[in-house]
Amino acid sequence: MALAEAAAARGRVLPWPRVVLFGDSITEFSFQEGGWGASLAGRLVRKCDVVNRGFSGYNTRWAKLILPRLIGKSAAAESTVAVTIFFGANDSALKDVNPKQHVPLEEYAANLTSMVHYLKSVDITEDRIILITPPPLQESAWEKECLAKGDKLNRRNATTGEYAQACVRVARDCGTDVLDLWTLMQKDQDFSCYLSDGLHLSMEGNNFLVGQLWSHLEKRLSALPSLLPYWRDVDPQNPEVSLL
């Protein structure tokens, strides 16, 4: 059968669900080797695409402006089974040291709320949205990174915690799910093992995040069927019967 005939027989492109990861550098880097995004994609092969929409250095002020350019009211939105919104590590930068990335706490919360409302306006309901708080900051390690660039320490863990708490409040008020990474990572042990440079995730941190995130996603995604038949189930004499 020619491809044009096969397309006509099929009628339309096979709908393929997707999870969108929207965030800053911790999301952008999530498809590196051992990254949490790559691990999530591995769990969802042939069930769901995992789409990386991470933007290093971005804060919520910038994120809310670009979100409508990334997700609109379309078939792609209809097929979106989950969206993570993972910002705060840059918003919480200290204003006097890093004013370019800093976003005041109240504006940060308002920006998160605005993004949730936008997603709902394009028919992505609150039960498909997961807010993720920034992870804790290991100040001594991050200060070394700053000093190596000729800068002063530009973040504080206590300040990051205020932004994490605001993120949790927004999720509660908007009715979305939330993964409070800042609190969870500091619960049982020295959290520095979760961070590669005091701010970004180490291999252990990536593993921790994907495990926690999967506990939020598993109920809604584990039941997704594998798309297209297993190869042993394809009739080699009449593959059209199995595949179209």
Catalytic residues, by residue number, are: 25, 197, 200
Tokens of 66: 């670009």
Which residues are paired to 50 by β-bridges? 19
Give the whole-angstrom CA distance, residue 146 versus residue 140: 10
- Please name which of 80, 85, 81 lies closest in space to residue 53, comparing C-alpha atoms: 85
Query: Using CA atoms in the order 192, 197, 199, 203, what is the torsion angle rounded to 10 degrees?
Result: -70
Give the whole-angstrom CA distance, residue 229 versus residue 81: 22
- Please name which of 63, 58, 104, 108 lies closest in space to residue 83, comparing C-alpha atoms: 63
**Biggest alpha carbon distance in the chain?**
71
Give the whole-angstrom CA distance, residue 228 versus residue 244: 9
Beta-carbon neighbour count of residue 129 at 10 Å? 23
